[in-house]
Amino acid sequence: MEAAVPSRVALSAASRFPNRHAVAGDRSSIYKGRCQSLAIPMALSAAAPGKGGVLDRPVEKTTPGRRSEFDVKKKRKMTPPYRVMLHNDNYNRREYVVQVLMKVIPGMTVDNAVNIMQEAHVNGLSVVIVCSQSEAEEHCTSLRGNGLRSSIEPASGGC
């Protein structure tokens, strides 16, 4: 077959497979010898520095218009805290006030809501939550939307 194509140079089996130890007449000997695994160089290149290896720190990618997690935490620390105040009224039942507090304020438990409602009922005013100004405005608006009297004030000043 090799003689049929004169332009090609016939290569011996020894030159095509330099690491094999061929025995005359042994057809399976082509597959003997050193076999390089492709997984090893790929694993080494994946663990190389800057390639996403185990020891590399994750890179936080931010898109324009979005803040990183560090920036958001820094902003929360820098904004002055505000109190959301609940005022007593003679129109809403106590159970309804507790339900609204649990619905509007995230993480509000029944016990905390009852204590806040009771303090507002007895003293006329109660602190619901201390948070940033934007969150305080949202909570105050939500409480008012559900028929409760509420206001916000800076947490640093006043009584």
For residue 51, is pLDDT > 60? no
pTM attached to this predicted model: 0.52
Residue 89: other Cβ atoms inside 10 A: 13
Compute the residue count for the chain. Answer: 159
Q: Hey, what are 140's tokens? A: 């105050």
pLDDT for residue 93 is more than 90: yes
> What confidence score (pLDDT) does residue 90 get?
87
Q: Which residue has the higher pLDDT, 44 or 63?
A: 63
Q: Counting beta carbons within 10 angstroms of the beta carbon of residue 24, is it exposed (0 to 12), middle (13 to 18) or buried (19 or more)?
A: exposed
pLDDT at 116: 96
When the candidates are 3.90.226.10, 3.40.50.300, 3.30.1390.10, 3.30.465.10, the CATH number that belongs to 82-154 is 3.30.1390.10
Contact 126, 75 (CB under 8 A): no
Residue with structure tokens 């003689």?
3
Question: Please, what sign has the CA dihedral across residues 44, 50, 51, 55?
Answer: positive
Q: What is the DSSP letter of 12?
A: P
> For the chain, what are the domain ranges?
82-154
Q: Exposure of 29 by Cβ count < 10 A (0-12 exposed, 13-18 middle, 19+ buried)?
A: middle
pLDDT band at 156 (very low <50, low <70, confident <90, very high): confident
Q: How far apart are CA 25 and CA 18, in angstroms?
A: 17
Mean pLDDT of 78-92: 91
Confidence (pLDDT) at 142? 96
Mean pLDDT of the chain: 74
Instruction: Convert the pLDDT of each residue in 106-150 to its tens digit.
Output: 999 999 999 999 999 999 999 999 999 999 999 999 999 999 999
CA angle 31, 37, 38 (to 5 degrees): 125
Quote the pLDDT of residue 158: 54
